[in-house]
Amino acid sequence: MKSALLLSLPLATLFSSRIQGAPTSNPPLRGSEDLLGYSSSNTLSDQTTEAITYTPVDGQNDDADLGVYLDFEDSDSPQPIRGNKGATDPGNTYYDRINSDKLAPPGTDEGQTINAQWPMGLSHNRLGMNESGWARQENTVVMPGATKMAGVDMRLEAGAYRELHWHVAGEWSLVLNGSCRIEAVNENGQTFVDDVTAGDVWFFPPGIPHSIQALDSGVEFLLVFDDGAFSEDNTFLATEVFAHQPKSVLAKNFDLPVAAFDDIPEDELYIFPGTPAPANISEQNVTGTAGIVPQSQSYSYHFSEQPAHEVEGGSVKIVDPLTFPVADNFAAAVVTVHPGGMREIHWHPTSDEWTFFIQGQGRATLFTAPSTATTFDFRAGDVGYFPQSNSHYIENTGDEDLVFVEVLQADQFSDVSLGQWIGSTPKQIVADTLRLPQSALDRLKTEKMLLCNKTS
């Protein structure tokens, strides 16, 4: 929405000919060469951009280096101004309101890091058959700097399938809401079937064929793949495998008559409605001589039943190969940050971090050596990405709990805490380097905070 004082002329008028007496007939696509060069008339617009009025939001007049969060969402005219930096903008958009740290960045930002933010709401949505579901993805096509991991947000209506398939990449998943039944067969012929619900996790290694069917409540889940260039469009689907084999070969392979394959789909199903799964899961426990997948190698982990570790400012709970061995290179933490709290400044020494925001709103500053820093504003449904050893925090800027999942490519979840590092370094070194007063040195902590509470 533009300021009411912004323009006195409609846009169509502003960008039409200003030459008096211009013909009323439809003009050519290109102008005359007479328009080149130096204007003898020097005709200028009488439009002013200096009459823009606005009301600063809380903190907007503070020193830019203080970098407080600016809430522009209810502002009639958000402006790219912090302290004495910036200037007014003749027009602004909804995205300016929800990305205040892009419009009016903290004075501590410098240069340009990778784009560490992608809203899934801007991803192309792939729709399932007969209103059975949808899927939208984030990968290097839309987020070029996110090279190590890619993600998919997928919804299945009750009874709908994500059809039988496999991937070249490993698939790690967190169920966001609802419930579903997952099924797989490994390379040894061992079978697996389990029901998972909101908060649970599954993992299917590369090449392991599997399927997903929503139960009566429907389901939405997050998928993370160990390749930033991964695309759902390149999945190996059962329907496509069958459609691209000679029927005589299929008949020979399955020891069936050719006629058995007369009605196989000519195209992929991908997401499609199906017969509801039986309530008794044992009815779908198909096993051969190889038996079932051993529990120690289970493809699911009932993370929803794990209590969260409560700390000042929120809670954290971790799942990684120490407790979920089959996902041998996926480590994750589900983090809840109370209003006003913050995931402390940290970095991951061995992995990039792929983050998905489940609830609430927050912001983060990505710092890249030697001196580049960009602050991003995140909402539920956004993906965040922080490269290996690049420091960042995640601050709750809303009035409800902020919930997000951090996913690493690592054999265990770990991070380095800026606070713990400085607090565990001899105070004289810290004083000489950072010039902190003794009162601050005395309050430094040697333990990792994980989360920080509201500023005292």
Q: What is the pLDDT of residues 320-366, one digit of tens each?
A: 999 999 999 999 999 999 999 999 999 999 999 999 999 999 999 99
Instruction: Give pLDDT, residue 24.
Output: 59
Instruction: Identify whether 294 is preceded by a cis peptide bond (ω within 30 of 0).
Output: no
Determine whether the annotation assigns residue 348 to a binding site. yes
Q: Which domains does the chain have, with CATH numbers?
A: 64-103 (no CATH), 122-301 (2.60.120.10), 312-452 (2.60.120.10)
Token pair of 17 as six digits: 């000919």
195: closest CA among 281, 275, 274? 281
The model's pTM: 0.87
161: closest CA among 215, 209, 109, 118? 215
Task: Report the distance separating Cα 81 and Cα 103, nearest Å.
Answer: 8
- The catalytic residue positions are 406
Scanning the structure block, which residue is given the tokens 């905070």? Answer: 449
Longest dimension (CA), the chain: 92
pLDDT in tens, 167-176: 999 999 999 9
Token pair of 177 as six digits: 């809401």
Determine whether the annotation assigns residue 167 to a binding site. yes
More confident of the two residues 3 and 212: 212
Contact criterion met (CB below 8 Å) for 406 and 320? no
Determine whether the annotation assigns residue 338 to a binding site. no
Determine whether the annotation assigns residue 353 to a binding site. yes
Quick one: pLDDT band at residue 80, thresholds 50, 70, 90?
A: confident
pLDDT in tens, 146-192: 999 999 999 999 999 999 999 999 999 999 999 999 999 999 999 99
- In this predicted structure, the answer to whether residue 279 has a pLDDT above a threshold of 50 is yes
Quick one: pLDDT band at residue 117, thresholds 50, 70, 90?
A: very high
Radius of gyration of the chain (CA): 28
Quick one: pLDDT band at residue 17, thresholds 50, 70, 90?
A: very low
Looking at the DSSP bridge assignments, the partners of residue 183 are 193, 211
Average pLDDT in the 49-55 region?
A: 75
